[in-house]
């Protein structure tokens, strides 16, 4: 059996730690530190970075410096710099701050949309069509992140038909070039991921599909693998595994960038990132946010980061060898 079954297939890792991650933190990470973090992620080879969110600073105080961060980062060629935008006001801020891609946000669940964005889905959709038109005028890419696509913490199951209908409307009516199916509170499970990914891929083979998982119930990495098997090649992840929507009850961290990168590299996928640089950046996070992160790679090291032999190893060996078998 070939254990390198990734066979060099390109998988794109998209960092959301500076948006989904920092929005969940109670401390305000200083602007210069945010800029340094984005720059280190760029240099580590992330394909796309969701740098920040142009949202109400009352709703998300941690990201109140969106413009300064966006304008302060280094633009590494080949990296796409994206930002989350909920409305026209946010789009205007993002456009003057020179984002490459607007990431529009709406929820597949009415209850979560109202809690998070204070609008009905119909109101969000109408506003986002305007945002998409603005983006087109500015020649910017439009991605739509559909929250609660695998279940809602308040409404429960969200039918795949409902999710696919919203995708159809965003692609057909708003002209979105990419869709992210978001598992906002870790409700997705691998066979469900496989099924929804296949249905999306069959319906829109040419639209950029991203999957966004939270590890709330320990299924994050399994869901990534299920998505890959079903044809997805773009995954959001957050450095250190931090993150979560403050307006989704029970939300916790995203799948951890260095854990996903470590696993996919072992399996032979081409992910284009420098794992060592990612781990170094992740190790700096606790000092910025004031607590440890869930990263198992920071805790345990990489698979082949070996430990020294016990100090009395030679004695143990001699003793063992002197015994009769
Ligand atoms: N950027 C900055 N400020 C904004 C803004 C934006 N994109 N949109 C609205 N505001 C400001 C308004 O000017 C107003 O400020 P004021 O109270 O000083 O006058 C305030 O925010 C409320 O504006 P309003 O239009 O009444 O919005 P709202 O209270 O209905 O909230 C959203 C709607 C979408 C702006 C707000 O809920 C939001 O930003 N949510 C984002 C949530 C989020 O990011 N969740 C996590 C990601 S999934
Ligand atoms: Zn998220």
pLDDT per residue as tens digits for the range 108-119: 999 999 999 999
**Ligand 1 pocket test: which of 56, 61, 236 has the largest number of ligand atoms within 8 Å of its C-beta?**
56
Task: Check residue 218 and report its DSSP letter.
Answer: S
46-80 b/e with 16+ CB inside 10 Å = b? bbbbbbbbbbbeeebebbbbbbebbebbeebeebb
What's the start-to-end Cα distance of the chain, in Å? 35
SS3 180: strand
Which listed ligand is nearest to 254 at the C-alpha?
2
SS3 84: strand
pLDDT at 21: 97
Domain ranges of the chain: 12-324
Torsion of CA 73, 74, 77, 78, to 10 degrees: -40
Of ligand 1's listed atoms, the one at least distance from the Cα of 118 is: 30
Count other C-beta atoms under 10 Å from residue 245's C-beta. Answer: 24
211 neighbors 146 (Cβ within 8 angstroms): no
| Ligand 1 midpoint to CA 28 (Å) | 18
Strand partners, 182: 212
Question: Which pLDDT tens digit goes with each residue over 81-128?
Answer: 999 999 999 999 999 999 999 999 999 999 999 999 999 999 999 999
Which listed ligand is nearest to 186 at the C-alpha?
2
**Long-range interactions of 161-169: CB distance < 8 A, separation 24+:** 162/108, 163/108, 163/196, 164/199, 164/200, 164/203, 166/106, 166/108, 166/121, 166/125, 167/200, 167/203, 167/204, 168/203, 169/125
139 neighbors 237 (Cβ within 8 angstroms): no
Task: Check residue 27 and report its DSSP letter.
Answer: S
Question: In sequence order, which ranges of the chain are alpha helices (DSSP H)?
Answer: 31-43, 66-72, 88-96, 110-117, 121-137, 160-172, 190-203, 220-229, 257-266, 275-283, 285-289, 296-300, 313-322
pLDDT at 201: 98
Strand partners, 85: 104
What is the CATH topology of the domain spanning 12-324? Answer: TIM Barrel (3.20.20)
Of ligand 1's listed atoms, the one at least distance from the Cα of 247 is: 45
Chain centroid, CA 106 distance in Å: 16
Instruction: Verify whether residue 129 is a known catalytic residue.
Output: no
Nearest to 55 by CA among 101, 14, 19, 15: 19
Residue bearing tokens 């781990």: 279
- Please list, in sequence order, all residues whose beta carbon lies within 8 angstroms of the beta carbon of residue 153, skipping any fewer than 6 positions away: 112, 184, 185, 187, 248, 249, 250, 251
Structure tokens at 220: 């994050």
Of ligand 1's listed atoms, the one at least distance from the Cα of 184 is: 48
Indicate the helix (H) or strand (E) that contains 150: none
SS3 212: strand
pLDDT at 3: 63
pTM, to two decimals: 0.96
Q: What angle do CA 150, 296, 21 make, to 5 degrees?
A: 55
Task: Check residue 187 and report its DSSP letter.
Answer: -
With a Cβ cut-off of 6 Å, ligand 1 is lined by: 23, 53-56, 58-60, 86-87, 89-90, 93, 105, 116-118, 147, 245, 247
Residues of the chain with pLDDT under 70: 1-4
d(CA 65, CA 220): 30
């Amino acid at each position: 059996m070939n254990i390198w079954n990734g066979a060099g297939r390109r998988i794109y890792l998209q960092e959301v730690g500076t948006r989904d991650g920092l929005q969940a933190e109670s401390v305000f990470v200083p602007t210069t530190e945010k800029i340094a973090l984005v720059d280190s992620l760029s240099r580590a080879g992330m394909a796309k970075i969701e740098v920040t969110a142009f949202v109400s600073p009352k709703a998300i105080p941690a990201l109140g410096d969106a413009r300064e961060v966006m304008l302060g980062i280094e633009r590494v060629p080949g990296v796409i710099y994206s930002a989350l935008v909920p409305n026209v006001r946010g789009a205007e801020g993002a456009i003057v701050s020179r984002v490459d891609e607007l990431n529009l946000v709406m929820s597949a669940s009415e209850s979560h949309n109202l809690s998070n964005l204070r609008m009905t889905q119909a109101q969000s959709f109408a506003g986002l069509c305007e945002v998409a038109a603005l983006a087109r005028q500015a020649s910017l890419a439009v991605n739509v992140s559909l929250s609660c696509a695998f279940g809602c913490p308040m409404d429960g199951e969200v039918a795949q038909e409902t999710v696919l209908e919203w995708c159809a409307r965003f692609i057909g009516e708003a002209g979105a070039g990419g869709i992210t199916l978001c598992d906002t509170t870790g409700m997705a499970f691998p066979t469900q991921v496989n099924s929804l990914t296949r249905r999306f891929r069959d319906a829109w083979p040419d639209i950029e599909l991203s999957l966004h998982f939270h590890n709330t119930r320990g299924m994050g990495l399994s869901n990534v693998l299920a998505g890959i098997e079903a044809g997805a090649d773009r995954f959001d992840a957050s450095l250190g595994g931090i993150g979560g929507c403050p307006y989704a009850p029970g939300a916790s961290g995203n799948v951890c960038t260095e854990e996903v990168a470590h696993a996919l590299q072992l399996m032979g996928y081409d992910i284009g990132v420098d794992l060592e640089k990612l781990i170094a950046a992740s190790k700096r996070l606790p000092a910025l946010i004031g607590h440890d992160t869930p990263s198992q790679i920071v805790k345990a090291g990489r698979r082949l980061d070996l430990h020294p032999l016990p100090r009395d190893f030679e004695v143990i060996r001699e003793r063992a060898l002197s015994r009769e078998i």
